[in-house]
Amino acid sequence: MQDLLYFSQQLINGLTIGSAYALIAIGYTMVYGIIGMINFAHGEIYMIGAYTALIAITGMTALGLAWLPLILLVALICAMIVSSSMGWAVERVAYRPVRGRHRLIPLISAIGMSIFLQNYVHLAQGSRNVGFPALIEGGFTFGSGEAFQMSLSYMQITIFITTLICMTVLSMFISRSRTGRACRAVSQDLGMASLLGIDTNRIISVTFVIGAALAAVAGLLLGMYYGSVDPLFGFIAGLKAFTAAVLGGIGSIPGAMLGGLILGVSESMTSSYLSGEYKDVVSFGLLILILLFKPTGLLGKPEVEKI
Amino acid sequence: MSMLSVEDVHTHYGKIEALHGVSVEVNKGEIVSLIGANGAGKTTLLMTVCGNPQASSGRIFLQGKEITRDPTAQIMRSGIAIVPEGRRVFSGLTVEENLHMGGFFNSKTEIRKSQAHVYELFPRLKERENQRAGTMSGGEQQMLAIGRALMSRPTMIILDEPSLGLAPLVIKQIFEIIGQLRDEGITVFLVEQNAHQALHLADRGYVLETGKIRLHDTGRNLLNNPDVQSAYLGG
């Protein structure tokens, strides 16, 4: 019983982090799926989302607003708007002018953008980490009377539910809507889509905006979960989410979701059963194994040469 | 009345010039065939009309309006549609979704109407409506590519090697459809290696050789031309 509770606790923790990774990973995978580049500034977009949410929350508390759902909603909307505009602007300024050049050029541009945004936040917000108010407190505990009690906090439940909603809305959008269909068509054959009169630049912007908005959601959620943010907040999370995207098969949206969950669970299992220091070793080791034995990722499709 | 007018167009891929001053005229309601060997520049000419790549010099007019420097997406929204070489259907999308991509800018009612029309031309597509395009045979994909092009209700349709890699029976069917499109009043600009059938169907034809127009005449005269016969019609 004791062991089972302990295991379940790690599973819950892992799935919590994993679903946030998945939210960030969507941005990597959608952009890769459509223009075949890794947007290394995506982690910074997520970090900016977290900061924006924090600023909004601080502002509203200073104004004396106390109704929690309203605070969360406004913070979420602010974060999504700011991050989306950032995502849009980054593509417009740093990627579009170099599109179609050698693959390394947009990649370097992305790394440059990442460094720029990180340092911008350093300057604007200071380099120390800032406390993020834990707005959602409390939770359920299971196994009273045992030496180990399993807890499922309301915060964790919020993360699950929000992620679930985002993923459902995204899947509906991609599979049902007119723009979603165009996204899929552009990711399969950009040239053909433009031969049908579709403004592919607009579709590319849309994918950046969607990815950034989801990253902002993750920013708010993980900011509250960890209780603090700093300008490097997006670096490791971005790297992990990128790993999750590759793990699941880069370019595949369900893959990013699966990859995020697997990564989150494997991390939390390693931290608890081995040691916290091995956490990153295992997650990146997992990445190497996948790349060795299934280079297209778990749900990725191999590129088929069209005849 | 001129539908498409290509005037002294040169096109470059990097430093290599692929078209050395090509002029082609397609009139409203005609079927015009462009024949030529592999690498003559047929596809390049079609793609230049679509603005990808753009002509490095010369001018292109569509219904009297210059489109030489317009971006591809804009050109393709001005009444012209293409069935590209190799079909290029969106393999992960269903047949219906592919058709809807073709009518991307039309209203829902227009899409419904065009879709019904396409299903009338190709009943096979109706049967496969919810199937992924990538799982269909080459002939069915070609039908889908033509159907997709028709979805935008174009006044002119460009077909690049529609018979490539298809069984003779399917080719016959495709050519019948092309004739039917003309009867509906759609102007057809057809590129083919299958010179015999292409010229047979065409009102007029052009012969492209290494980036230059060698000959142009009515379809029938080209069929009877000894040079054309020896070079493209197997003697």
What confidence score (pLDDT) does residue A303 get? 59
> Tokens 């039908």 belong to which residue?
B143
What confidence score (pLDDT) does residue A147 get? 77
Q: Report how far residue B204's alpha carbon sits from residue A271's, in angstroms, rounded to the nearest whole number.
A: 75
What confidence score (pLDDT) does residue A144 get? 74
Nearest residue in B to A189, CA atom? B90
Closest Cβ–Cβ partner in B72, B148, B165 for A194: B72
**C-alpha distances in angstroms, A137 versus A16, A164, B3?**
15, 20, 70
To the nearest whole Å, the CA of A300 is away from the closest chain B CA by 13
What confidence score (pLDDT) does residue B166 get? 92
To the nearest whole Å, the CA of B86 is away from the closest chain A CA by 7
Q: Is B92 on the interface with A (CB under 8 A)?
A: yes
What confidence score (pLDDT) does residue A302 get? 67
What confidence score (pLDDT) does residue A2 get? 81
Q: How do residues A261-285 score in pLDDT, each as one tens digit?
A: 999 999 999 999 988 889 889 988 9
Question: Rounded to 5 degrees, what are φ and ψ at A153?
Answer: -80, 160
What confidence score (pLDDT) does residue A134 get? 87
Instruction: Return the residue in A34, A99, A195 with the most chain B beta carbons within 10 A, the one to mutate for interface testing.
Output: A195
What confidence score (pLDDT) does residue A306 get? 40
Mean pLDDT, chain A, rounded, equals 92
Choosing among 3.50.50.60, 3.30.530.20, 3.40.50.300, 3.40.718.10, the CATH entry for B1-79+155-167+186-235 is: 3.40.50.300
Q: Report how far residue B194's alpha carbon sits from residue B161's, in angstroms, rounded to the nearest whole number.
A: 8
Instruction: Quickly count: other Cβ atoms within 10 Å of residue A70's Cβ.
Output: 11
Verify whether the Cβ–Cβ distance A195 to B90 is below 8 Å. no
Instruction: Quickly count: other Cβ atoms within 10 Å of residue B114's Cβ.
Output: 20
**Count of A-B CB contacts under 8 Å:** 63
> Tokens 């723009």 belong to which residue?
A179
Comparing CA positions, the residue from A260, A284, A259 lying closest to residue A270 is A284
Instruction: Return the residue in A96, A99, A196 with the most chain B beta carbons within 10 A, the one to mutate for interface testing.
Output: A196
Q: Is B48 on the interface with A (CB under 8 A)?
A: no
Instruction: Quickly count: other Cβ atoms within 10 Å of residue A253's Cβ.
Output: 23
Cβ atoms A272, A264 nearer than 8 A: no
What confidence score (pLDDT) does residue B233 get? 82
Q: Is A111 on the interface with B (CB under 8 A)?
A: no
Complex prediction ipTM:
0.93
Nearest residue in B to A199, CA atom? B73
Q: Count how many residues are written for chain B.
A: 235
Q: Is B52 on the interface with A (CB under 8 A)?
A: yes
Q: How do residues B58-86 score in pLDDT, each as one tens digit?
A: 999 999 999 999 999 999 999 999 999 99
Which residues on chain A are in Cβ contact (under 8 Å) with B73?
194, 197-200
Q: Where are the beta strands (DSSP E) in B72-225?
A: 80-83, 156-160, 187-192, 204-209, 212-218
Comparing CA positions, the residue from A39, A34, A22 lying closest to residue A298 is A22
What confidence score (pLDDT) does residue A111 get? 95
Nearest residue in B to A307, CA atom? B86
- H helices present in A42-153, as ranges: 42-62, 68-90, 104-125
Q: How do residues A149-188 score in pLDDT, each as one tens digit?
A: 889 999 999 999 999 999 999 999 999 999 999 999 999 9
To the nearest whole Å, the CA of A196 is away from the closest chain B CA by 6
Closest Cβ–Cβ partner in A178, A185, A199 for B90: A185
Which residues on chain A are in Cβ contact (under 8 Å) with B100?
178, 181
Chain B residues 98-137 within an 8 A CB cutoff of chain A: 100-102, 104-105
Which residues on chain B are in Cβ contact (under 8 Å) with A199?
73
To the nearest whole Å, the CA of A293 is away from the closest chain B CA by 25
Q: How do residues A17-44 score in pLDDT, each as one tens digit?
A: 999 999 999 999 999 999 989 999 999 9
- H or E segment and range at residue B181: helix B168-183
Which residues on chain A are in Cβ contact (under 8 Å) with B90?
184-185, 188-189, 192
- In the predicted model, is pLDDT for residue A105 greater than 60? yes
Domain(s) labelled CATH 3.40.50.300 in chain B stretch across 1-79+155-167+186-235, 85-154
Name the residue ranges covered by the structural domains of chain A. Answer: 2-293
What confidence score (pLDDT) does residue A142 get? 84
Nearest residue in A to B77, CA atom? A197
Q: Is B165 on the interface with A (CB under 8 A)?
A: yes
Instruction: State the greatest distance between any 2 C-alpha atoms of chain A, in Å, as a whole number.
Output: 68
| pLDDT one digit per residue (tens) for chain B, 235 residues | 899 999 999 999 989 999 999 999 999 999 999 999 888 999 999 999 999 999 999 999 999 999 999 999 999 999 999 999 999 999 999 999 999 999 999 999 999 999 999 999 999 999 999 999 999 999 999 999 999 999 999 999 999 999 998 999 999 999 999 999 999 999 999 999 888 999 999 999 999 999 999 999 999 999 999 989 988 887 6
Closest Cβ–Cβ partner in A189, A197, A306 for B104: A197
Q: For chain A, what percent of residues have pLDDT higher than 70?
A: 98
Instruction: Return the residue in B48, B75, B78, B104 with the most chain A beta carbons within 10 A, the one to mutate for interface testing.
Output: B104
Nearest residue in B to A182, CA atom? B101
A2-293 placed in CATH 1.10.3470: yes
What confidence score (pLDDT) does residue A149 get? 84
B85-154 placed in CATH 3.90.226.10: no
C-alpha torsion B125→B127→B130→B135, nearest 10:
-70
Cβ atoms A63, A259 nearer than 8 A: no
Predicted TM-score of the model (pTM): 0.91
- In the predicted model, is pLDDT for residue A301 greater than 90? no
Which residues, other chains included, contact A41 with Cβ-Cβ below 8 Å and sequence gap of 6+? Answer: A90, A94, A110, A113, A114, A117
The helix/strand/coil state of A177 is coil
Which residues on chain A are in Cβ contact (under 8 Å) with B72?
194-195
Q: How do residues A75-94 score in pLDDT, each as one tens digit?
A: 999 999 999 999 999 999 99
Verify whether the Cβ–Cβ distance B90 to A184 is below 8 Å. yes
Cα-trace Rg, chain B: 17
To the nearest whole Å, the CA of A198 is away from the closest chain B CA by 6
- In the predicted model, is pLDDT for residue A307 greater than 60? no
